[in-house]
Amino acid sequence: MARLSFSGSKLYKSLKCKEPTSSELISHMHHLSEICPFYRFSYMSANGAIAEAIKSENFVHIIDFHIAQGSQWITIIEALAARSGGPPCLRITGIDDSNSAYARGGGLDMVGTRLHSVSASCGMPFEFNAVHAASHEVYLEHLDIRPGEVIVVNFAYELHHTPDESVSTENHRNRIIRMIKSLSPRVVTLVEQESNTNTAPFFSRYLETFEYYTAMFESIDVALPRDDKRRISTEQHCLARDVINLIACEGAERVERLEAFGKWKARFAMAGFRPYPLSSLVNNTIKTLLDNYHSCYRLEERDGVLYLGWKSRVLVVSSAWC
């Protein structure tokens, strides 16, 4: 109805205006991660590849294109600090826009303060570089690259928000991937939803979204009843707005522009990247994680890439590149 009445943009913006407080939104996101394994899967798979790539390095620079609260990096800091040869010097560049600042309850400074505190408690030399920008606004001068450091880059559920040639005269999606390749990173981690809604015509996009979120909501059904108040709030604030954006918005206002892994693979290959297979240790750790969830979740590894789905529908893909 929102699309037919051309009110999708207005409805999407109204939902943004009626967002819960930041502490409530964080609670909803935490609740979603408790009942569904997708966030934990993404962080564990990316961190496994990063930890393997930097295990013997002394100067490490992590560039995170959607740092959110920075929680992903606490386990990395603790693991590096416990290295037998002593901790490295670690720098993290955290990139995020004002929307995530709202969700956090503050700007990137609070992320830097938190990670500084964790690093200090572990005896880890640490620096934080805050980049207040959306991904398509980031250029080399924002990243403060220094000689002698090993660079790793993390894209977690972020690149699909970056406009490409179907939206902008400048293909920022490809530009960013090429820019990162120019840094000769040790590893780049990519986690994205497995769906094709970027350039698909409306009816195909509608069917794809319907199928994807049917599987998502079905996976939630086995965890909580539909009338559970926390579930209703979590779905409203973490999922419903994305669905409205996918179906009822167009042009630059449609920011949920998902691509299937085959398209991401082609983009990275065109930029000169080659696959960096995820280790069997990571796979086994994630399999153990899934034991805490429903048996209908499926984990598959093909050519070093991890596919997590519900029954026969793949929902999230995690890969690494070098």
Q: What is the pLDDT of residue 226?
A: 84
* Per-position pLDDT tens, the chain of length 322: 545 555 445 555 554 544 544 445 455 566 666 788 998 999 999 999 999 999 999 999 999 999 988 999 999 999 999 998 899 999 999 999 876 665 556 689 999 999 999 999 999 999 999 999 999 999 999 999 999 999 999 999 999 999 998 888 889 999 999 999 999 999 999 999 999 999 999 999 999 999 999 999 999 898 887 888 877 777 777 788 899 999 999 988 999 999 999 999 999 999 999 999 988 888 899 999 999 999 999 999 999 999 999 999 999 999 999 9
pLDDT at site 82: 93
Only one residue has tokens 């794809």, namely: 208
How far apart, in whole angstroms, are the C-alpha atoms of residue 292 and residue 37? 9
Tell me which fold the domain 37-194+258-321 belongs to.
Answer: Rossmann fold (3.40.50)
In angstroms, rounded to a whole number, what is the distance separating the alpha carbons of residues 50 and 44? 10
pLDDT at 18: 45
What is the domain partition of the chain in residue ranges?
1-35+200-256, 37-194+258-321
- In this prediction, residue 42 carries a pLDDT of 93
- How big is the CA angle at 84 (ends 79 and 86), to the nearest 5 degrees? 80
Report the pLDDT value the prediction gives residue 8, as an integer from 0 to 100.
47
pLDDT confidence of residue 312: 95
